[in-house]
């Protein structure tokens, strides 16, 4: 493994090329800052890895960046349309994105307070080091699914990410979860000819308003088996066992799709000294600048909410970059303290 000895210096390094990271990079370049974006996957990697047939809850204008119009064939944009839109925006503003380059280290350069940071990356067998006076962590959360933490979760039949229904044709598939992702997965599986059991620890699903009627109709007609107030106890090769009240129930099964959400990887923030508060491990930052309690390190997008990252959406995160760049151009990246 080899790498450059002296790091390349920039005004700003942004870690993560999702919509929030792209918006921040566009603002930074417009302000005259030398900025580079590092992305461990492809451009808008998390959106690219959404289910192939997913439709966004937000209308297209609420996903727009830098006043570039987002027009779609339907009222709600599809995953494919959204990926294409952000690709077009990145090209239009010539955003410098180093794709497939994973950040493995973030630390202060030299003595504390010298105002510079060094980021270490890996791409294939190559390592690299980049330096900047400020770093924005915009890593999102979709790449780290939550786990059930039950026996059998490691079996090959269990997946934590769903793409499309066709591979599950004529199979007994259990979907675990209580929100839109689980509901849409169950519906697509049923349309593809799978025998579907939907398992949720709550009493009701919380899903998109246009999905709920179809889901309820499929359940009422017996086309999707519905197990509310059920907690998964274990997963075996040919079955799944759930607890419902005082009763344990075994369901024949040969495929399990876990859709219980995601949590962010906060290791870079924690490693550089950012305080993570409370049970949700929320990064400590100033809401006016998005600067953390480590001067020069900013958070952007869903990572701002820690383990509750799913509570922040593109429609609001796309504006975080404006405050970050305003703080940088005002010299606030080395002064002030979070609230």
Q: What tens-digit pLDDT sequence spans the chain (339 residues)?
A: 444 456 668 999 999 999 999 999 999 999 999 999 999 999 999 999 888 888 888 899 999 999 999 999 888 999 999 999 999 999 999 999 999 999 999 998 865 545 589 999 999 999 999 999 999 999 988 778 889 999 999 999 999 999 999 999 999 999 999 999 999 999 999 999 999 999 999 999 988 888 899 999 999 999 999 999 999 999 999 999 999 999 999 999 999 999 998 888 999 999 999 999 999 999 999 999 999 999 999 999 999 999 887 788 899 999 999 999 999 999 755 544 454
Contact (CB, 8 A) for 255 and 166: no
Distance CA 58, CA 51 (A): 16
32 in the same domain as 19: yes
Kindly report the number of other CB atoms within 10 A of residue 258's CB atom. Answer: 25
90 in the same domain as 10: yes
In a domain, 250, yes or no: yes
138 in the same domain as 53: yes
Rg of the chain's alpha carbons, rounded to an integer?
Answer: 22
In the block, tokens 């959400």 appear at 261
- Which pLDDT belongs to residue 339? 45
In a domain, 271, yes or no: yes
Contact (CB, 8 A) for 70 and 60: yes
Number of domains in the chain: 2
220 in the same domain as 241: yes
- Which pLDDT belongs to residue 6? 60
> What is the DSSP code string of 145-207?
B-----TTTTSTTEES----SGGGTTSEEEEE-SBHHHHHHHHHHHHTT-EEEEE-SSSS-B-
321 in the same domain as 195: no
- Which pLDDT belongs to residue 333? 55
**Looking at 258, 288, 317, which one is the last position of a domain?**
258
Q: Which residues contact 277 (CB under 8 A, 6 or more apart)?
A: 283, 284, 306
Distance CA 211, CA 189 (A): 14
pTM for the structure as a whole: 0.85
Q: What phi and psi, each to the nearest 5 degrees, are found at residue 22?
A: -65, -45
Contact (CB, 8 A) for 283 and 303: yes
Distance CA 97, CA 88 (A): 13
Distance CA 160, CA 170 (A): 20
Beta strands 117-123 and 102-108, pairing class: antiparallel
Q: Which residues contact 45 (CB under 8 A, 6 or more apart)?
A: 17, 18, 39, 143
CA distances from 215 to 154, 168, 186, 190, 220 (A): 29, 18, 8, 10, 9
194 in the same domain as 168: yes
**Looking at 234, 258, 282, which one is the last position of a domain?**
258
Q: What phi and psi, each to the nearest 5 degrees, are found at residue 57?
A: -75, -40
CATH number at residue 299: 3.50.50.60
Contact (CB, 8 A) for 176 and 162: no
- Which pLDDT belongs to residue 5? 53
- Which pLDDT belongs to residue 337? 45
Q: Which residues form the domain of 272?
A: 2-143+262-334
Distance CA 184, CA 164 (A): 10
**Looking at 205, 231, 258, which one is the last position of a domain?**
258
In the block, tokens 């995160």 appear at 317
In a domain, 152, yes or no: no
In the block, tokens 């570039």 appear at 68
193 in the same domain as 78: no
- Which pLDDT belongs to residue 262? 85
> Which of 124, 80, 120 is CA-nearest to residue 100?
124
């Amino acid at each position: 493994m080899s790498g450059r000895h002296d790091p390349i210096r920039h005004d700003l390094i942004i870690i993560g090329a999702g919509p929030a990271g792209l918006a921040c990079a566009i603002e930074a370049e417009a302000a005259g800052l030398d900025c580079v974006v590092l992305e461990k996957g492809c451009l808008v990697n998390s959106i690219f890895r959404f289910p192939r047939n997913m439709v966004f809850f937000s209308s297209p204008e609420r996903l727009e960046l830098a006043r570039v119009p987002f027009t779609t064939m339907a009222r709600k944009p599809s995953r494919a349309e959204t990926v294409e839109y952000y690709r077009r925006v990145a090209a239009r503003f010539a955003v410098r994105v180093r794709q497939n380059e994973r950040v493995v280290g973030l630390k202060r350069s030299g003595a504390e307070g010298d105002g510079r940071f060094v980021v270490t990356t890996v791409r294939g067998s190559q390592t690299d080091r980049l330096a900047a006076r400020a770093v924005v962590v915009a890593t999102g959360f979709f790449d780290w699914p939550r786990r059930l933490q039950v026996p059998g979760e490691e079996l090959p039949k269990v997946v934590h990410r769903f793409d499309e229904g066709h591979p599950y044709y004529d199979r007994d598939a259990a979907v675990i979860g209580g929100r839109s992702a689980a509901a849409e997965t169950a519906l697509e599986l049923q349309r593809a000819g799978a025998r579907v059991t939907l398992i949720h620890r709550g009493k009701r699903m919380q899903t998109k308003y246009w999905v709920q009627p179809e889901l309820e109709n499929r359940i009422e007609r017996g086309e999707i088996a519905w197990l509310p107030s059920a907690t998964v106890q274990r997963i075996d090769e040919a079955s799944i066992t759930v607890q419902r009240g005082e009763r344990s129930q075994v369901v024949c099964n040969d495929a399990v799709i876990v859709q219980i959400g995601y949590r962010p990887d906060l290791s870079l923030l924690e490693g550089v000294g950012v305080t993570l508060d409370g049970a949700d491990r929320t990064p400590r930052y100033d809401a006016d600048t998005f600067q953390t309690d480590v001067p020069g390190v900013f958070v952007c997008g869903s990572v701002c909410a820690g383990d509750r990252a799913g509570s922040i959406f593109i429609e609001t995160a796309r504006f975080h970059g404006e405050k970050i760049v305003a703080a940088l151009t005002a010299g606030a990246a080395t002064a002030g303290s979070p609230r």
